[in-house]
């Protein structure tokens, strides 16, 4: 069974090896990584990994009329790895597939829901937990997350999709496959991360699973959207992958900074992942490229602090802002109801 992970990156060289090792251990057999406009050496690092047989790397330089991620997905459509895959998932560098059934691999996950064609993996938000600066594995530095039944905000329920690559959808999408094929789509079976059947509306649309029913029994998508405070400033500097000119701000931080419960289930792969990364880093070329990518982040943060008061102000506000409060179920229900025209 060929399982393909598609990734778009810009200036994320410091995080690539952990992400790749984790997902290889999770059971992805192939990786298609598309990079754009890197200044931290990520493109060279990816070229080296490609030469080592770890992944396939495709350059995606600007301009990007609809944003770099959409441009990358268009390039990925015709790639041989995409054509040959049995299952495909489009995942970001701050998203880690956390299989919670069997031995934590895709084969056990797919085996648990053999009737499924599309598996909606819902985000589990991992907050900052007061970390100002960190080095090393993201999955070990950030171990506090939102509760399983987070009622608000709605973005906490966004999905990424592991889908059967059988022609039912004509195009790749950021959160789910797109362009459903009319003669096929009515037979596509969607399930959530607990294996429960999702409504027929998911066959053609929907980007988030219903709130109130924790969809993490079989798989969750650990979403480390914030990272350390210093890395969040660098994320704001980088800009969004799917909107060319859009940036991050404090509202993005507040919507995702939940550290209510300790959640370490992803660390079942930590020893094997560390060994795999160490083996890769033993390559002198790759090891130096990784070191330079990490050094670039330190230097870029220092440059931003010197350059512009607005960056220092953002950094200061992150220091001032505590973890986001989990709203009571009743309050969240009232907010949802307002959108439907009432407050019952």
Per 3-state DSSP, the chain is made up of helix, strand and coil in percentages (nearest 5) of: 40, 20, 40
Distance CA 241, CA 283 (A): 30
What residue segments make up the domains of the chain, in order of their start?
Answer: 3-339
Per-residue DSSP letter, 314:
H
Nearest to 76 by CA among 57, 103, 99, 102: 57
Alpha-carbon distance 255 to 330, whole Å? 18
> pTM for this structure?
0.95
- Residue tagged 């410091």 (tokens): 14
How far is it, in rounded angstroms, from Cα 24 to Cα 46?
16
Q: Which of these, 248, 242, 245, lies nearest to 67 by C-alpha position?
A: 242
Q: Taking the CA atoms of the chain, what radius of gyration do you get in angstroms? A: 20
- 3-class DSSP state of 217: coil
Residue identified by tokens 């054509």 is: 83
Residue 78 main-chain phi, psi, to 5 deg: -95, 5
pLDDT at 174: 97
By three-state DSSP, how is residue 143 classified?
coil
**Residues 294/227/217/29 CA torsion (nearest 10 deg):** -20
Q: State residue 241's pLDDT score.
A: 55
3-state SS, residue 69: helix
How many of the other CB atoms lie within 10 Å of CB of 170? 12
Q: How far apart are CA 151 and CA 337, in angstroms?
A: 12
Tell me if 68 sits within 8 A of 241, measured CB to CB. Answer: yes
Contact 170, 180 (CB under 8 A): yes
> What number of other Cβ atoms are within 10 A of residue 161's Cβ?
22
Ranges of the chain whose pLDDT falls below 50: 242-246, 341-344
The pair of structure tokens assigned to 36 is: 């754009």
Angle made by CA atoms 313, 8, 316, in degrees to the nearest 5: 10
């Amino acid at each position: 069974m060929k399982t393909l992970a598609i990734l778009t990156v810009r200036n994320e060289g410091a995080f690539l090896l952990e992400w790749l090792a984790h997902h290889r251990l999770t059971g992805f057999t192939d990786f298609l990584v598309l990079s754009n406009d890197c200044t931290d050496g990520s493109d060279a690092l990816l070229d080296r990994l490609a030469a080592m047989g770890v992944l396939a790397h495709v350059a995606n330089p600007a301009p990007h009329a609809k944003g770099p991620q959409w441009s990358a997905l268009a390039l990925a459509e015709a790639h041989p790895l995409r054509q040959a895959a049995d299952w495909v998932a489009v995942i970001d560098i701050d998203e880690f597939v956390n299989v919670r059934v069997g031995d934590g691999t895709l084969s056990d996950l797919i085996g648990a829901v053999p009737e499924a064609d599309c598996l909606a993996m819902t985000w589990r938000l991992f907050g900052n937990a007061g970390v100002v600066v960190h080095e090393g594995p993201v999955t070990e530095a950030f171990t506090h997350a939102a509760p399983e039944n987070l009622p608000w905000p709605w973005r906490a329920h966004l999905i990424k999709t592991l889908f059967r690559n059988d022609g039912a959808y004509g195009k790749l999408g950021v959160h789910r496959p797109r362009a459903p094929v009319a003669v096929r789509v009515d037979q596509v079976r969607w399930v959530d991360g607990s294996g429960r059947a999702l409504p027929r509306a998911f066959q053609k649309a929907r980007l988030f699973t219903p709130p109130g029913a924790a969809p993490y029994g079989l798989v969750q998508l650990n979403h480390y959207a914030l990272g350390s405070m210093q890395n969040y400033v660098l994320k704001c500097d980088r800009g969004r992958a799917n909107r060319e000119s859009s940036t991050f701000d404090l509202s993005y931080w507040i919507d995702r900074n939940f550290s209510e419960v300790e959640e370490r289930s992803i660390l079942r792969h930590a020893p094997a992942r560390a060994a795999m990364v160490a083996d890769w880093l033993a390559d002198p070329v790759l090891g130096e490229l990784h070191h330079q990518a990490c050094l670039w982040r330190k230097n870029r943060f220092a440059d931003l602090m010197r350059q512009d008061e607005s960056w220092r102000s953002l950094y200061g506000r992150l220091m001032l802002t505590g973890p986001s409060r989990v709203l009571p179920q009743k309050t969240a229900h009232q907010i949802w109801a307002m959108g439907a025209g009432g407050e019952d």
